[in-house]
Structure 1
Amino acid sequence: MSPLTRRTLLVGGSALPLAMSASIGRAAAESGEPTEVHWLEGGAPAEMTGVTWGVPWPKGRLRPDQSFGLRTPDGTAVAMQTWPIGFWPDGSLKWSAHTIGAAPAAERYLLAPGPPAAPAKAVTVVRQAGRIVVDTGVARCVINRSGRVLIDSVARGGKVVARKGELVCLRENERYTGEVHKVTVEQNGPVRAVVRIEGKHRAERRARAWLPFTIRLYFHAGAESFRMVHSFVFDGKASDDFIRGLGVRFQVPMSDEPHNRHVRFASADGGLFTEAVRGITGLRRDPGAAVRAAQIAGRATPAVSTWDTRVSSRLPLIPAWGDYTLSQLTADGFEIRKRTKEGFGWVHAAAGTRAGGFGYVGGVSGGFAFGLRNFWETHPTQLDIRGAAGDSAEVTLWLWSPDARPMDLRFYHDGMGMDTYPEQLEGLEITYEDYEPGFGDPYGIARTSELMFWALDATPSAERLAAQASAVRTPPLLVTTPQRMRAAGVFGDWSPVDRSTPAKAAIEDRLDFLFDYYRKQVGQRRWYGFWDYGDVMHTYDNDRHEWRYDVGGYAWDNSELSTDLWLWYTYLRSGRADVFRMAEAMTRHTGEVDVYHLGKYADLGTRHGVQHWADSAKQLRISTVANRRFLYFLTADERIGDLMHDLVDADKTFLALDPLRKVRTEPYEPDPKALAISLGTDWGALAAAWFTEWERGGDPIAKTKLLNTCTAIGELKNGFITGQGMYDLTTGKFATNTVAVSVSHLSAVFGLVEMCSEIIAAADLPGFERAWLQYCTLYNGTAAEQIAAVGQSFGSLNLKQAHSRLTAYAAFRTNNPALATRAWGELDRGEAGYPANGPWRSERITGPVVLNPVDEATWVSTNSTAQYGLAAIQCLALVGDRMPG
Structure 2
Amino acid sequence: MKSPFSFTRRSFVKNSMIAAGLPLSSSIDFSKENQSVFVPEPNAVSLAWLDKQVSPFFRGTTWGTPWAKGLHKKGTEFTLKSNGNDIPTQTWPLAFWPDGSLKWTAHAISKNEKLADNIQLKVGTPVKPTVSLKIQEGADSIKIDTGKIQCEINKKGQTLITSLQRDGQLIAQNGKLVLSVQDNVEAGETFKIDTFEGKIDKVSIEQSGDIRAVVKIEGSHQNTASKSLLPFVLRLYFYAEAESIRMIHTIIYDGDENKDFIKGLGIRFSVPMKEALYDRHIRFVGENSGVFTEAVQGLSGLRRDAGRTALDAQIGGKSVTQLPDNVLKNIQYIPAFGDYTLYQGSPDAFDIQKRTKAGHSWIQSAFGGRASGTGYFGTPKGGIAFGIRNFWQSFPAQIDIKNAHTEQGEVTLWFWAPKSPAMDLRFYHDGMGEDTHEKQYSALDITYEDYEPEFGRPFGVARTSEVQIWVLAETPSGENLVEIAKQIQEPALLVASPEYLAQVGIFGSAFSVPEKTASAKKQAIENQLDFYFDYYKKQIDQRRWYGFWNFGDVMHSYDNDRHVWKYDVGGFAWDNSELSTDLWLWYYFLRTGRNDVFRMAEAMTRHTGEVDVHHIGRFSPLGSRHNVQHWGCSAKQLRISTAANRRFYYYLTADERVGDLMREQVNADRTLRTIIPGRKIGQKAPESDPKGELASVSFGTDWGALSAAWLTEWERTENQQVKAKLLNSMRTIAEQAHGFLTGGAIMELATGKFRQEDAKKLSVSHLSAVFGLAEICAELIDVVDMPIFEKAWLQYCQLYNGTAEEQIAALGESLKKLNLEQGHARLTAFVAKRSKNAELGKRAWKEFYGGEGGIKKPSIQIKKLVGPTVLNPVEEGIAISTNGVAQWGLAAMQCLAFAGNELE
TM over 0.5: yes
Match of 1:769 in 2: 790
Looking at structure 2, the residues matched to 613 and 227 of structure 1 have their Cα atoms a distance apart, in angstroms, of 29
Tell me whether 1:824 sits opposite 2:845 in the alignment: yes
How far apart in 2 are the matches of 1:392 and 1:108?
47
**Preserved CA contact (<8 Å) 1:136 1:221:** yes
| CA 39–167 in structure 1, closer or farther in 2 if over 3 Å, else same | same
Q: Does 1:113 align with 2:123?
A: yes
Q: 1:867 aligns with which of 875, 878, 887?
A: 887
Match of 2:360 among 321, 325, 344: 344
CA distance, structure 2, for counterparts of residue 174 and residue 589 of structure 1 = 28
Residue range with higher mean Cα deviation, 476-485 or 548-557: 476-485
Equivalent of residue 716 in structure 1, options 736, 742, 745: 736
Corresponding residue to 1:191 among 205, 211, 221? 211
Structure 2 residue 391 is the aligned partner of structure 1 residue 375: yes
Residue aligning to 1:541: 559
How far is 1:498 from its partner? 2.2
1:464 and 2:503 aligned: no
5 Å-filtered alignment, 1:194-213, equals 194-204=214-224, 206-213=225-232
Equivalent pair of 1:596/1:602 in contact (CA under 8 Å): yes
CA distance in structure 1 between the aligned counterparts of 2:57 and 2:91, rounded to whole angstroms? 22
1:496 corresponds to: 513
The one-letter amino acid of 2:75's match is: D
- Contact kept in structure 2, 1:808 and 1:878, CA below 8 Å: yes
CA offset at residue 285 of structure 1? 1.9
Q: 1:553 to 1:361 in 2, by over 3 A?
A: same
Of 422, 428, 440, 1:406 maps to 422
Tell me the equivalent position of 2:826: 805
* Amino acid in the other structure paired with 2:278: H
4+ residue stretches of structure 1 with deviation over 4 A? 23-31, 665-670
Which residue is equivalent to 1:616?
634
- Partner of 2:788, secondary structure, is helix
Q: Are residues 1:683 and 2:703 paired?
A: yes
1:707 aligns with 2:716: no
State the secondary structure of the residue aligned to 1:536: coil
Contact 1:179 1:199 in 2 (8 A): yes
Indicate how the Cα distance of structure 1 residues 221 and 28 shifts in structure 2: closer, same or farther if over 3 A, else same: farther
Partner amino acid, structure 1, of 2:52: G
Corresponding position of 1:328: 344
Q: Which of the residues 125, 141, 159 maps onto 1:131?
A: 141
Q: Comparing 285-294 with 407-416, which one deviates more in the overlay?
A: 285-294
Residue of structure 1 in register with 2:502 after alignment: 486
Partner residue in 2 for 1:77: 86
Aligned partner of residue 733 in structure 1, secondary structure: coil
Amino acid at match of 1:494: F
Instruction: Give SS of 1:640's match.
Output: helix
Distance 2:403 2:170 in 1: 17
Give yes or no for the alignment of 1:552 onto 2:570. yes
TM-superposed deviation, 1:111 = 1.1
CA RMSD of aligned residues (A): 1.6
How big is each residue's C-alpha offset from its partner over 1:684-737, in whole Å with a ceiling of 9 and x where there is no partner?
000000011111125322211110010111111100011112211132201134
2:99 pairs with 1:90:
yes
Equivalent-residue separation in structure 2 for 1:392 and 1:34 (angstroms) = 52
Contact 1:658 1:670 in 2 (8 A): no
What amino acid sits opposite 1:92 in the alignment? S
Aligned residue for 1:289? 308
1:298 corresponds, among 307, 313, 317, to 317
Query: What does 1:49-60 align with in structure 2 at a 5 Å threshold?
Result: 49-60=59-70
* Deviates further, 60-69 or 323-332: 60-69
CA distance in 1, matches of 2:858, 2:20: 54
Q: Which amino acid aligns with 1:373?
A: R
Letter in 2 for 1:72: S
The separation in 2 between residues aligned to 1:489 and 1:818, in whole angstroms, is: 25
Does the aligned pair in 2 maintain the 1:440–1:613 contact within 8 Å? Answer: yes
Gap regions ≥5 residues in structure 1: 1-22
| Helix, strand or coil at the partner of 2:746 | strand
- Deviations 1:430-467, CA, capped at 9 Å, x for gaps: 00000000100100000100000011110011111011
User: 1:179 is paired with a residue of what secondary structure?
Assistant: strand
Question: What is the Cα deviation at residue 313 of structure 1?
Answer: 2.2
Larger displacement relative to structure 2 (509-518 or 666-675)? 666-675
Q: Which residue of 2 aligns with 1:241?
A: 260
Q: Tell me the alpha carbon deviations over residues 411-433 of structure 1, each in whole angstroms, 9 at most, x when there is no partner.
A: 00000000000000000000000
The 2-side partners of 1:203 and 1:773 are apart by 58
Alpha carbons of structure 1 residues 362 and 28: separation in structure 2 relative to 1, 3 Å: farther
* 1:728 correspondence with 2:738: no
- How far, CA to CA, are the matches of 1:679 and 1:411 in structure 2? 32
Give the fraction of aligned pairs with identical amino acids, expressed as a percent: 52
CA contact (8 A) 1:86 1:94 kept: yes
Does 1:530 find its partner at 2:548?
yes
Q: Could you tell which deviates more after superposition, 657-666 or 120-129?
A: 657-666
Asked if 1:144 is matched to 2:154, the reply is yes
Distance between the aligned counterparts of 1:737 and 1:770, measured in 2? 18
Contact 1:49–1:226 (CA under 8 A) maintained in structure 2: no
Contact 1:688–1:755 (CA under 8 A) maintained in structure 2: yes
Aligned to 2:620: 602
CA deviation string 1:149-196 (max 9, x = no partner):
000000011111000000000012211000001000011120001000
Q: 2: distance between equivalents of 1:346 and 1:663?
A: 59
Give the aligned residue type for 1:282: G
Letter of the 1:873 counterpart: M
User: In the alignment, which of 571, 576, 579 is matched to residue 589 of structure 2?
Assistant: 571
What's the CA shift for 1:288? 1.3
Task: Look up the equivalent residue of 1:394 and give its one-letter code.
Answer: E
What amino acid maps onto 1:842 in structure 2? I
The verdict on how the C-alpha distance between 1:55 and 1:665 changes in structure 2, with shifts beyond 3 A counting, is closer
Shift in Å at residue 607 of structure 1?
0.3
* TM-score normalised over the length of structure 2: 0.93
Q: CA deviation at 1:96?
A: 0.6
> Deviations along 1:17-66, whole A, 9 cap, x unmatched?
xxxxxx99887899933211111011222311210000001111111211
Q: Which amino acid aligns with 2:324?
A: D
Separation in 2 of the partners of 1:462 and 1:632?
Answer: 35
My pick for the range that moved more, 50-59 or 734-743, is 734-743
Moved more, 109-118 or 192-201: 109-118
Question: Hey, what does 2:434 align to over in structure 1?
Answer: 418
If the length of structure 1 is used for normalisation, what is the TM-score?
Answer: 0.95
Contact preservation (8 Å) 2:676, 2:683: no
Tell me what 1:255 maps to: 274
Question: Structure 1 residues 384, 496: closer, same or farther in 2, change over 3 A?
Answer: same
Determine if contact 2:739/2:793 at 8 Å carries over to the other structure: yes
2:840 aligned partner, one-letter code: L
Q: Which residue of 2 aligns with 1:753?
A: 774
> Is 2:684–2:696's contact at 8 Å kept on the other side of the alignment?
no
| Mapped partners of 1:28, 1:456: distance in 2 | 52
**1:300-357 CA distances to partner (integer Å, 9 max, x unpaired)?**
22x22xx332223222111111100000011111010000111111000101011101
| Greater mean alpha carbon deviation, residues 600-609 or residues 499-508 | 499-508
Residue 702 and residue 784 in structure 1: after superposition, are their counterparts in 2 closer, same or farther (change >3 A)? same
- What CA distance in whole angstroms lies between the structure 2 residues aligned with 1:717 and 1:747? 18
1:99 deviates by 0.5
1:440 to 431, 439, 456: 456
2:836 maps to a residue whose letter is N
Please, which runs of 5 or more residues in structure 2 have no aligned partner?
1-16, 24-39, 183-192
Q: Distance in 2 between matches of 1:455 and 1:858?
A: 51
Query: 1: CA distance between counterparts of 2:541 and 2:885?
Result: 18
| Shift in CA distance, 184/247, structure 1 to aligned 2, threshold 3 Å | same
Amino acid at match of 1:444: G
Moved more, 333-342 or 496-505: 496-505
1:711 is paired with a residue of what secondary structure? Answer: helix
1:826 counterpart SS class = helix
Q: Give the aligned partner of residue 170 of structure 1.
A: 180
Q: Distance in 2 between matches of 1:686 and 1:610?
A: 27
Structure 1 stretch 519-528 or stretch 63-72: which is displaced more?
63-72
Give the partner amino acid of 2:703. W
**Which of residues 109, 112, 124 in structure 2 aligns to 1:103?**
112
Paired residue type of 1:496: V
The alpha-carbon distance between structure 1 residues 252 and 677, as it changes in their structure 2 partners (threshold 3 A), is same
Alignment of 1:827-838 (within 5 A): 827-835=848-856, 837-838=857-858
| Alpha-carbon distance between aligned partners in 1 of 2:136 and 2:859, rounded to the nearest angstrom | 63
